[in-house]
Structure 1
Amino acid sequence: MKSRDPWSNRRVTAAKSRMWRLFIVSFTASGLILTLLSVCCFPLSIAWESLAVYALRDYYSHMHINSKWRLIGILSLILLTAFSAIILIDFISTRNSMKVEIVRSSLPLLQENIYSTILSDLLPSMNTASMMANDSFLVNWEEGEGGDISEITEYLNRIQKKYGFNSVFFVSESSKRYYYPDGINKIISPLNDHDIWYFNFLDTGKEFELDVDTDEAAGDKLTIFINYRLENSEGELLGVTGVGVEKKGFSEFLSLQQNLFGKMIFLVDSQGVIQAHSDLESVEQADIHEIDGLKSVADKILSSRMDPYTGTYNSDGKKIVLMSRYIPEIDWFVVVEYDENEAMSGIQRRMAQSLVISLLAFALILLFSILTVNRYDSRMETMAITDALTGVANRRALDAALPRMLYRRSRQEGNVSLILIDLDHFKSVNDKFGHLVGDEVLKSFSRTASREIRQDDLLVRWGGDEFLIVSESGIEGALRVADEIRKRHAGIESRVTLSMGIAVADDNDIPESLLKKADQALYEAKEGGRDKTVVLRAGEVTQKE
């Protein structure tokens, strides 16, 4: 059977469209937020550089390298928390919106569609049965004490062919004969369980009723019978007439709707007995008062005749949401229910997809952050141990390197020597030519000295116009380096000369004592007229012009 209410179908389709739009908007919103987080990481890295330039100068003196990984760990925690919160909020919002959409829109629209379809299919049959109950032919024929049987069978046959009913009948109260288009089917009796419907109907005093039963005259097909009382003008009962509609069509229709909308749909009478169901075995056999879970709301369903009823119950660990509506024209209830967990499965799948995308985004952002931190970490480390003006090592680098070199000397019986250098008359250059020229002199000397020292030696700006060379060589190697630097410098810069003090470490030296020796040697060079090299070894001073 197809719904004859196109507006109901359109409303159901519109409701489904709204639901999918809601899902798409929610998923897109979460994706945009994730994208914004990703984009924000780049300016975050720029801010990191700006804020950390000066802080990291002291970072390497007071903090362990693991602090970098703590920073990355904190960033990871923030990102994971943000992604998780976005996904969770999106899931809860979508789930709640879906519940509201189903309860307020989808279920009512589907129920309205079922209601309209049932009425559009049964009302014509009810009108025909009502017409037969008011047909003067039937009244006159029965009051004539059942005249020619061919007349009644022809009458019933004509109606059946005209409207296409599975069954058309008349039961005479006086003779208890059951007439159908092919003649007399049987004589009904209150002792026959299959005939009890007739006597029960008369006992209700109703003008009509719907009854679901097998049709003996049509091969025991499950049929919805529409029974009407036949009375004469004085109100005397003459019998019962009506038509039958095959129940299979209703079951197929309900199955189609269930497959289309994913909802369970069935009809129950005012007593709670299921009258229409996709499972034909439940028809006329199952009572909602006896079905696990459903029995907890059975009375509420049957008592809600003025307004639709919406409720929930639990069955086999599932939460079932249902809505029922009374159909007064046939005295039945249409019930629509759905498994909330199954309805949520689509949202859970989308949540899993969002989680995968978020994890990928998290991995990319984390990788980008690690690369960024490492990049600036390396730059900050270099800056922390490098003199900003000349580009050579600073005293912080010396504090790290000299103890290490002395320790290596004690283990390997090698040599460590210091060459402390002062640029003579540098102050006068600054005063006469300005600080910019003075800076160029410092940079020029740094380039010269860097070219002359060995790869393993360390050139340090000791402070102001003083430089220090740490070399793992003996006195001869240190003197050779000092001589080469002096020659090269003299060929490039004539305004300043070089005073040098050389000290060689012995077994008892520590960084402070060795530096003190080099400083003493430099002092002797300057006191001796400058532009000299002085060597301090075993407490003896050796001068070299």
Structure 2
Amino acid sequence: MVGNIFSKRFGWAWFVSLLLLAGFLLISISSYLVSRGNIRDTITESTLPLTSDNVYSEIQRDLLRPVFIASLMAHDTFLRDWAISGELDDDAITRYLHEIKIKYATVTSFFVSEQTQKYYHSYGLLKTVRESEPRDEWYYRVRDMEDAYEINVDPDLANADEMTIFINYRTFDYDGNFIGATGVGLTVNSVNNLISRYEAKYERQIYFTDAEGKIVLRPMNSPLLKHTHLKEIEGLGEHVSDLLNDQGSQLSYRRDGENRLLHCRYVPELDWYLIVEQSEAAMLAPVKEQLFVNISLALLVTCIVAYICIAAIKRQQGRLEVQNEALSRTNAMNEKQKFELLATAEDLAIANRTLERMNREKDDFIGVLAHDLRNPLNSVIGLCDLAEGGFDEFTCDEFIDDIKRCGIRMLDLTERLLDVSRMESFHGPVATEDLIFNEVVESVLAQFLPQAAHKNIHVQINLEQTEGVHLQSHHDWLDVCISNLISNAIKYTPKFGKVGITTRCVDSLLELEISDSGCGIKDDDLDKLFGKFVRLSSKPTDNESSLGLGLYIVKQMSERLGMQVQVHSELGKGTSFTLIRKLG
């Protein structure tokens, strides 16, 4: 049996297995070397800086609350009023500072008066500050600085000279005059507890030094307790000047027979350097253990592969069939994706055509706007030039009429554009109200009677059949539809012509017919009659302006109001437009 396994028949399988084993060993060793390098890079570039950032963030968070407390004190009306009124009651400020200390659990709270130079503490008047006293120089520094507050570390005179983190906040009266400094203090032990917690959590050594390299803060159980300066630490002394010359740096050194990785960053709030270091051996131990596990697994897998290779040929055919089925499914999916892409391409083509149409509308809009605004503006400018030369040729009334006529043309253009904008931007349901139809028609018609009279146009009105008829509609939109139709009828009717306004109510259908005696509309123009910015071959009879939007507005608004628009025209005889609405 054993001889059969090692026969030439299975030699290729063992050859493949030995190649696989060699590959496993090469990969495992290479992975170990790469992992060792990655771990070193991760520790120096990520892990240690992240721990440093976390400690720094915790310190900032712990300092944020006392800064807020000091800000409240500096803006407290009681404190400011007490100082401004002459500091008459020492017990009052003592109680205030004591309440601040108890309520917010601070180590100390204080106020130093600029007027009396007295240092008030939560237990009473502490002393009088003097510029000649070195321990009082902080107050005069705060008084002269531009920032609202500072954070510094000093011994606390009221707390047995224990090192304390002070928040010194400048205080001003209501006129912006400096009246003193107030704030609170935290013991350095709070930061000490923080780094002790981080050392236990991340198994790293954390400590603080000053700008000279003196170790100023470390946990009570730190292995560096026997050292007071960085220069005393084995392997680190020669790097002190380079380490503390940068705002953030990292290096590797050997101590106690092992490599250690170190990260240093500057903490501006404390004017200290935060140093986080870690042993490389502790991080590499799991990787070494994984290397031996990988080698053991490689031997096991080699034996398994040798057995599997014997049955590989028998299974190969089955695998090929499975692959063929997978390829068939892939082809089907590709076909499906092909049709989806074609559909997407069609959608894009539709969107492209829509964009081209909108672009044409934009070009038409700009052209129409430039043309229709230019003429009245030129007229106004010309009239102004005449005004500068006096009224020899024109009377004042004629001058005012011309300017008014130009203003009306520009106003009409603006109102048309606003109607289109309001209509196209409105997508919700149209709010309706109960309207008396004849009153709406008469109200709109009254606006155009002066225009008709100006052209000596006879307006024939017949509203008898719809007397008292009500309908549900949107008042403003119905006004716009009727206004545009009446305005067009008057524009395209020659002087001394006739315009007819007739309403009917037949078989529950309410109709409004507006007819004119103009030149009519050509058959070619009927197909594009209700288009946007359309200029027809027919022209207004008294040089009135035409933007090409009136009938487009009528068509769109009437459809939104549930109305139909019918048009009938004969060349040389005139045109009639009929609005039709079903009642009930």
Question: TM-score under structure 1 normalisation?
Answer: 0.43
Asked which structure has the greater CA Rg, the reply is 1
> Which is bigger in relative contact order (C-alpha 8 A, separation at least 6)?
1
Question: TM-score under structure 2 normalisation?
Answer: 0.41
